[in-house]
Structure 1
């Protein structure tokens, strides 16, 4: 007869039962109910679910915290979390995470939860957990100091433009410009560095689109969740271990054009799909949005040129198509931990080169000033929206 476990050995006993094939509930009911109090039993079940099915007893609470955006694991000794004010080290992670073998096991389990594999044949994985959390993991020998795990949280709550104003991410007097870009069905590039709030801002702005419009979002993994009644999500498919079966963003752009879209939205443009996106924006598809990584609005053209080179496009071809197809660049910045609107620019072609001319500059305190491209922006979104951003009675033209 199997000995009934004690409270002290209950956790390890349940682990053994689960490993032997019982469900977690069966294991708990079979051996621990009589030895453990109800409160201890609930805590044990919660911890075991985290260890066996989730991100573990250290990472799961961090990912569940509403203010945490990123959790990073650098082997068994380094765990960092970003709560909006930059990365902060989590104390004494080894006691909870265990050794390198345990961290690798955690990464492998998370990869499996994404439907991916992580082993010596596939030492790098990128995927999305069932709750929407994005996973990136690398194992040794590629990760020289131990298995690294990068997790970016996903929140069910979608912020609105009014929420961004309340959070001081967008000055109240600049909000009409962003709203007008959506209403006027302008084609816009949303730029910024990692962690500046590009996805959050884009989702908020897409929520302003006419409810009768069909929005097709193309992403590596689904992150955009705009508050809109008609959104279709397409996501890429990675190649299998035989390097077959890949569906790229460029493939999805071509597919989206046949889906009767009112707006084509590219979650992140970072490769040869720039050719297909610009092709769509230059063939009557209005109201498109795409995000790119860039340090400033003025750096967006060089970023686009680099992406175009991956598609075999010359700089002159890129300049011609981007200047014609993209109406504005909206740039976000992170200052002292606060994500905020920093610039609105317009693209201008000078010979064979593409330049971004600043139309509006937003200071850290929310003051908005006009740049040389303000007239062109006003011609696209209307004088009233630009005048509101600059202040009551402001002249749109720059002296």
Structure 2
């Protein structure tokens, strides 16, 4: 029979509050010795096991992620979402799942955690700056919005860095890639064709890109440009460049388009942009048109057919004309791989496309290979072009037409 929480025992709110107040008034982490000293100062007598449990609880609250700390240790979790004090959700490859056993005492506890994480990133989060998008020292991407902008309470989200890189074979075994699709993508890498991986949020773009970069020849030098270190290819020669947010005085910020320009001067064999979503699209298009073969990036897009329009919007916002965007895009000869995600969280390769200009000069995504949910391949209008470009690097199978 379990023993109820009593005053002077771990879990007692009054004791926790008193010890917390003492520790916050001192410098240093909530170590077991400091917790024990604070407990003794309160006139309480606890055993070693109780002091250790109390120090863990206070340490997680004062310097860690509080109630979220156990979730951070689960390697299968990629996202943690908090919608106010009583709703915590996770993504572990099966779609979003609520975790009812994890909650916060009140919205002040959620707000305190959000502000502590913001401070770790060197940013402020308060009434004057009620939202934040930052990268933590752990590599996690952190976003938060404070109440009352969020009427249901403070909302925060954590995108956790991948613990390991999946191989193409593992993605095939997990039914995320059809075997023939994996061989086509391997041929694209071997032929040093530029490629773009598109899809919605959580569709597995970064996972697939890391797997493909892992099969690049070991003699090649990879320069990766990202907001956060999400790409972790298993490759011997990787140089990572990461953006830096502006400080509270709005100075010192370094954005992706700055780093793309620097990467071009670092003798890359392959220039890789983790995600294209701003003015860096102009530098990337220029790079892919000036002898930098085999470049790669990811892009948010609902379908492969939307890719030219998305790049057009980004390029025009960066100062290029519509004609210039489509002219440069057509010259890159980028191959597009589109990923989808089902309602159950299953991710899969849906389509591989080539880019081609229509009679008006506008670039279109032309399907070369379409894969149904079982992985069966159906060739599209650009199938002959894809086979020609991969000649010597991939042997096409006989497929029904």
TM-score with structure 2 setting the length = 0.90
Local SS of the residue matching 2:336: strand
Contact 1:189 1:326 in 2 (8 A): no
Local SS of the residue matching 1:245: coil
Alignment-derived partner of residue 91 in structure 2: 82
Gaps of 5+ in 1: none
Which of 306, 316, 324 pairs up with 2:331? 324
Greater Cα offset, 356-365 or 215-224:
215-224
Distance 1:184 1:46 in 2: 53
Q: CA deviation at 1:32?
A: 4.9
Which of 49, 65, 69 pairs up with 1:55? 65
Distance 1:121 1:192 in 2: 35
Alignment-derived partner of residue 148 in structure 1: 155
Local SS of the residue matching 1:173: helix
Local SS of the residue matching 1:136: strand
Q: CA deviation at 1:357?
A: 0.1
Alignment-derived partner of residue 25 in structure 2: 20
Write out per-residue CA displacement over residues 202-229 of structure 1, whole angstroms, 9 at most, x where no aligned residue.
0111011111211111111121111111
Q: CA deviation at 1:44?
A: 2.3
Contact 1:330 1:345 in 2 (8 A): yes
**Residue 384 (structure 2) pairs with residue 375 (structure 1):** yes
How many residues align? The count is 385
Contact 1:14 1:27 in 2 (8 A): no
Q: CA deviation at 1:72?
A: 1.1
Q: CA deviation at 1:16?
A: 3.0
Alignment-derived partner of residue 354 in structure 2: 346
Q: CA deviation at 1:92?
A: 6.5
Distance 1:114 1:343 in 2: 38
Distance 1:379 1:37, change over 3 A: farther
1:255-270 paired onto structure 2 within 5 Å: 255-270=262-277
Distance 1:353 1:273 in 2: 21
Alignment-derived partner of residue 316 in structure 2: 309
Write out per-residue CA displacement over residues 238-273 of structure 1, whole angstroms, 9 at most, x where no aligned residue.
223333222111111111101111111011101111
Distance 1:31 1:230, change over 3 A: same
Alignment-derived partner of residue 124 in structure 1: 131
**Residue 345 (structure 2) pairs with residue 337 (structure 1):** yes
Contact 1:218 1:265 in 2 (8 A): yes
Distance 2:219 2:334 in 1: 23
Contact 2:341 2:347 in 1 (8 A): yes
Alignment-derived partner of residue 45 in structure 2: 35
Local SS of the residue matching 1:117: coil
Distance 1:368 1:159, change over 3 A: same
Distance 2:208 2:313 in 1: 25
1:196-275 paired onto structure 2 within 5 Å: 196-275=203-282
Q: CA deviation at 1:394?
A: 4.0
**Residue 70 (structure 2) pairs with residue 65 (structure 1):** no
Distance 1:29 1:76 in 2: 29
Gaps of 5+ in 2: 1-6
Distance 1:166 1:118 in 2: 43
Distance 1:37 1:379, change over 3 A: farther
Contact 2:162 2:230 in 1 (8 A): no
Which of 163, 166, 179 pairs up with 1:159? 166
Contact 1:127 1:221 in 2 (8 A): no
Alignment-derived partner of residue 306 in structure 2: 299
Write out per-residue CA displacement over residues 103-142 of structure 1, whole angstroms, 9 at most, x where no aligned residue.
1111000111222221223222112223222111111343
Contact 1:122 1:241 in 2 (8 A): no
Distance 1:40 1:322 in 2: 64
Contact 2:379 2:399 in 1 (8 A): no
Distance 1:326 1:137, change over 3 A: farther
TM-score with structure 1 setting the length = 0.90
